[in-house]
Structure 1
Amino acid sequence: MSTALTGPSAELGIAMRHGVLAAFREANEGELLRGRKLELIALDDGYEPARTAPNMHRLTQEMQVLAVVGNVGTPTAITAIPIAEKTGTPFFGAFTGASALRKAGTPDVVINYRASYAEETAAMVDALIAKGIRPEEIAFFTQNDSYGDDGFFGGLAAIRNHQAVKISSVAHGRYRRNTSHVEDGLADLLLHQPLPKAVIMVGTYGPCSKLVRLARENNFHPQFLAVSFVGSQALKRSLGEQANGIIATQVVPHFNSELLLVRQYRAAMRAHSPDVPFSFVSLEGYIVGRIMVQAIDSIEGDITRSRITEALEALGSFDLGLDTPLTLGPDDHQASGRVWPVMIGADGCHPVSWEGVDHE
Structure 2
Amino acid sequence: MTLKPWPALLALLLGWSAVTAQAADPGVSDNEIRIGQFAAQTGPAAELGKRMQVGILAHFSAVNAAGGINGRQLKLISRDDGYEPEKAAAAVKALIEEDKVFALIGSVGTPTTLAAVPAINAAGIPLIGPFTGAQALREPFNRNLFHVRASYFDETERIVQHLSTLGIKKIAVFYQNDSYGKAGLAGVERALTKRNLKPAAAVTVERNSVDVTAALAEILKAAPEAVIQISAYKSCAALIKQARAKAYGGQFFNVSFVGSQALANELGDAGVGVTISQVVPFPYIASSVVVREYQQRMTEAGQKEFDFSSMEGFLAAKVFTEGLRRTGKNLTRDGLMTALESLRDLNMGGFTINYGPKEHEGSRYTDLTIIGRGGKFMR
Shorter-chain TM-score range: over 0.9
Identify the residue that residue 224 of structure 1 maps to in structure 2: 252
SS at structure 1 position matched to 2:276 = strand
Which sits farther off after the overlay, 6-15 or 213-222?
213-222
Residue 151 of structure 1 is aligned with which of 184, 188, 206? 184
Tell me how far 1:332 sits from its aligned partner. Answer: 1.5
Distance apart, 1:191 and its partner CA: 1.8
**Which residues of structure 1 form unaligned runs of 5+?**
353-360
* Matches of 2:68 and 2:103, distance apart in 1: 18
Aligned pairs for 1:57-72 (under 5 A) are 57-72=93-108
Aligned: 1:108 with 2:143: yes
Q: Is there any run of 5+ residues in structure 2 with no aligned partner, and where? A: 1-36
| Residue identity in the other structure for 1:214 | Q
C-alpha distance after superposition, 1:234-292 (max 9, x if no partner): 122111111000000111111123211111111111111334x1110000000000110
Q: 1:227 to 1:206 in 2, by over 3 A?
A: same
- In the alignment, which residue of structure 2 is the partner of 1:350? 377
Q: Deviations over 1:36-84 (max 9, x none)?
A: 1111000001101111111111111222211110000000010011110
Q: What is the deviation of 1:348?
A: 3.2
Deviations along 1:103-150, one digit per CA (max 9) or x if unpaired, are 1x232101100011111111100110111112xx11111100000001
C-alpha displacement at 1:164, in angstroms?
A: 5.2
Secondary structure at the aligned position of 1:35 is classed as coil
For residues 140-195 of structure 1, the C-alpha deviation after alignment (integer angstroms, 9 at most, x for no partner) is 11100000001111011001101154xxx631111000111111111121122xx2
Partner Cα separation in structure 1 for residue 174 and residue 354 of structure 2 = 32
The counterpart of 1:171, out of the listed 201, 205, 217, is 201
Please state if 1:304 is matched with 2:332: yes
Report the residue type matching 2:313 in the other structure.
Answer: G
Match of 2:51 among 15, 26, 29: 15
Q: Are 1:184 and 2:214 counterparts?
A: yes
* TM alignment of 1:169-318, pairs within 5 A: 170-192=200-222, 195-257=223-285, 258-275=287-304, 277-318=305-346
- Structure 2 counterpart SS, 1:298: helix
Q: Which letter does structure 1 place at the counterpart of 2:342?
A: A
Q: Is the 8 A contact 1:255 1:262 kept in 2?
A: yes
Q: Does 1:52 align with 2:88?
A: yes
Q: Which amino acid aligns with 1:325?
A: T
**Distance in 1 between the 2:130 and 2:376 partners?**
23
In the alignment, structure 1 residue 33 sits paired with structure 2 residue 69: yes
Amino acid at match of 1:100: A
Other structure's SS at 2:327 match = coil
Indicate conservation of the 8 Å contact 2:155/2:277, yes or no: yes
- Is the 8 Å Cα contact of residues 284 and 307 (structure 2) preserved in structure 1? no
Distance (Å, rounded) in 2 between the aligned partners of 1:339 and 1:34: 34
Residues 271 and 375 in structure 2, CA contact (< 8 A), matched pair in contact too: no
Q: Residue 356 of structure 1 aligns with which residue?
A: none
Provide the secondary structure at the position in 2 that maps to 1:158. Answer: helix
Q: Distance in 1 between matches of 2:264 and 2:89?
A: 32
* TM-score of the superposed pair, with normalisation by structure 2: 0.88
Instruction: Find 1:336's aligned residue among 363, 366, 376.
Output: 363
Amino acid at match of 2:242: L
Runs of 4+ in 1 over 6 A off after TM superposition: none
Quote the Cα distance in structure 2 between the aligned partners of 1:345 and 1:228: 17
Whether the 8 Å contact between 1:32 and 1:297 is mirrored in structure 2 is no
Distance 2:111 2:278 in 1: 20
Shift of 1:325: 2.7
Q: Distance in 1 between matches of 2:311 and 2:353?
A: 15
What do you get for the CA RMSD once the two structures are aligned? Answer: 1.3
Could you tell me which amino acid in structure 1 is paired with residue 190 of structure 2? A
Amino acid at match of 1:249: S
Bigger radius of gyration among the two: 2
Q: Is the 8 A contact 1:81 1:91 kept in 2?
A: no
- Matched with 1:93 is 129
Percent identity over the alignment?
37
SS at 1:296 equivalent: helix
Question: 1:31: Cα distance to partner?
Answer: 5.0
* Alpha carbons 2:92, 2:116 under 8 Å: kept: yes
Q: Is the 8 A contact 1:100 1:106 kept in 2?
A: no
Whole-angstrom CA distance in 1 between matches of 2:96 and 2:339: 19
Q: Residues 291-349 of structure 1: CA distance to partner in whole angstroms, max 9, x if unpaired?
A: 10111011223212111111111112211111x53211112101111111110000334
CA contact (8 A) 1:342 1:349 kept: no
Offset from partner CA, 1:182-231 (integer Å, 9 cap, x none): 11111121122xx2000001101101111001101111121101111112
Asked whether the equivalents of residues 121 and 151 of structure 1 are also in contact (C-alpha less than 8 Å), the reply is yes
